[in-house]
Structure 1
Amino acid sequence: MKVCFVGLGSIASRHIKNLYSLYGSKIEIDAVRSGKGNTQNHDIEKRISHVYRDNEAIPYGYDVIFITNPTKLHYTALERMHSHGRHFFIEKPVFETGEEDISKLKLRNDSIYYVACPLRYTNVIQYLKQKVDFSQVYSIRCISSSYLPEWRPGTDYRNSYSAKRILGGGVAIDLIHEWDYIRYLIGDPEKVCCLMGKKSDLEIDSDDVAAYIAEYPDKMVELHLDYFGRIPVRKLELYSRDDVITANLLEQKIIYGRTGRQVDLPEDRDSYQKKELIHFFAIVNGELTNDNSIVDGCRTLKIAKGAIE
């Protein structure tokens, strides 16, 4: 199998490592990048057959192309690479606004265009999907709070894409995982009210906080996202007919409030990232239907940006 990565940042390096762990010598990897630097990861460099620059002739005939460059460049990367590959794995968020003209891409009916959002493959979210009757849940409170300067040790947060609005930074887009797994668990809201802005003293020009209230026919959802929480929190609280269920993604556990019963669901990050890759290739092989298409990704992005009523 021949694959090509467009962009060689940290998420691309993780995918390359995991692909080799899963498929070994069955996979051949090329990369396309516009920068002049190295990956700074010699193990990853050794696994890449060839790196193409923008001004070089990129081969055709890739089985899968991974779009892993900055969000702002996803649309043009897909447009430019469309004729070079058959199937596409696009990092979240799918595009910059969700309002892009998909028809101009001339997508093929026999190709898979999958938008990555790996938190839905965590043990915690999978447990909720399989074990909870959401028809009995009246309200959900969800929060993702963390401190942006501590996200990427050894780098200056002020230079990250998260800090820069022009590169697609801001909590609404950066933390789109929350809206992805909410949609995965309970579908689309009928209405979303949203406030977002820059409120902290972080040296960024992107939004650092967003708060949502979403209405469903039978329930309400509250969601809080921020870049400035000094104690990391990522959890959901489900208020149901019979219990209050807390799903803690950082502590990797489920707690049933009334009885105190606790379900521990430990795993490392590569575990759920690999599960997503396995899921994607099952879609490519016709074993599963595509459950996160470009249309789905745009819908999630519009909700995250508060663009629906």
Structure 2
Amino acid sequence: MKVLIIGFGSIGKKHYLALKHLGYEVSVVSRSYKKNDLQCFKSLQEVKLEEIDLFVIATITINHYETLESIDKKVKDKTILVEKPLFEKYREFNSINGNYIYVAYLLRFHPLVEKIKTIIQKDQYIYFVEFNCSSYLPNWRICDYTQNYSAKKELGGGVLLDLSHELDLAYYFFEKLKLLYAQNLKISELEINSDDFAFLSLKSKKELIHIKLDYFSKFTKREIVLHSRDKTYKADLVNNKLYIFGTTTLLQVEECQSDTIKNLISLHEKIIEKDCSVCNLYEAFDVLKLCDEVKRRSSE
């Protein structure tokens, strides 16, 4: 199994570790990486693309479309994984050569997310769902955060796209989502020109769904909370615990083991199986359309 990772920043390196764990032969396209412990090309033009089985596009968001289009034109019946978000805005795209295109919405493979999906299928009385993701952008990477693409709107940065895992999960869990209300703003002290706050109120067939995202919280939180007639379920995705509350007491606490590399390994295993749990091109389009609608409403 030969894999090519295009872009070797923080997430590209994590894909590399997961793929090497699976025993794949991995090479990289990166203009800045200089170490000699892996096969590294400076551009796609140097690579014999027809020999590659899986492509991982891990460049900055603004470059995803051009890179995907370039690869898709040159190879046939291959698998292409694009890091999330698919593009910086909704764009029409279809493979012209029968390539299988997936998007790396990694949170789908967190063990607690799998538990939550099962709970939603079993508990018919869930009526309100909360997704909360808070973190502090300057702590994300070992670099000047003001120079990172996340800080720059023109490069596809911003909390709505960067933390769009929660939007993807809303579509993954529920059907026929309708946007009721949205805010997408820059409100904090951070020295960035991208958005650092987003709030969405959505309605599915029978559930009300709220999603809150921010870049500026001095503590880290990633939670999914389900409110049902008899129970409340809280999945803490940072500490890997699921709490199940009854009407008067905490009924149960479940723990699991999870980290980014383990979830990436699960993702790549499912890609090889062409499993339907992996986000496909059209599911990623739904997320981008929702992001565009949120931005439109927030600018009015």
- Partners of 2:171 and 2:190 lie apart in 1 by 30
**Alignment match, 2:89:** 97
**Alignment match, 1:282:** 273
Specify which of 127, 134, 137 is matched with residue 145 of structure 1.
134
Corresponding position: 1:88 with 2:80 = yes
- Partners of 1:280 and 1:80 lie apart in 2 by 21
**Alignment match, 1:29:** 26
Which segments of 5 or more consecutive residues in structure 1 lack a partner in the other structure? none
Which segments of 5 or more consecutive residues in structure 2 lack a partner in the other structure? none
TM-score (norm 1): 0.87
Query: Does the 8 Å contact 2:102/2:281 carry over to 1?
Result: yes
Query: Does the 8 Å contact 1:248/1:254 carry over to 2?
Result: yes
- Partners of 1:278 and 1:232 lie apart in 2 by 29
Query: Does the 8 Å contact 1:52/1:58 carry over to 2?
Result: no
Specify which of 184, 205, 213 is matched with residue 217 of structure 1.
205
- Partners of 1:248 and 1:172 lie apart in 2 by 20
**Alignment match, 2:293:** 306
Specify which of 246, 253, 269 is matched with residue 234 of structure 2.
246
Runs of 4+ in 1 over 6 A off after TM superposition: none
Secondary structure in 2 matching 1:306? helix
Return the offset for 1:290. 6.8
**Alignment match, 2:125:** 136
Query: Does the 8 Å contact 1:192/1:306 carry over to 2?
Result: no
Query: Does the 8 Å contact 1:30/1:49 carry over to 2?
Result: yes
Change (3 A) 1:290 1:248: closer
**Alignment match, 1:76:** 66
Query: Does the 8 Å contact 2:267/2:278 carry over to 1?
Result: no
> Structure 2 matches for 1:137-216, cutoff 5 A?
137-152=126-141, 154-216=142-204
Decide which moves more: 264-273 or 160-169. Answer: 264-273
**Alignment match, 2:33:** 38
- Partners of 1:192 and 1:280 lie apart in 2 by 34
Return the offset for 1:296. 1.1
Change (3 A) 1:300 1:20: same
Amino acid at match of 1:77: T
**Alignment match, 2:2:** 2
Change (3 A) 1:291 1:277: closer
Return the offset for 1:53. 2.5
Amino acid at match of 1:49: Q
TM-score (norm 2): 0.90
Specify which of 236, 241, 254 is matched with residue 263 of structure 1.
254
- Partners of 1:212 and 1:282 lie apart in 2 by 34
Query: Does the 8 Å contact 1:171/1:225 carry over to 2?
Result: yes
Return the offset for 1:130. 2.2
Q: Percent identity?
A: 28
Q: How many aligned residue pairs are there? A: 289
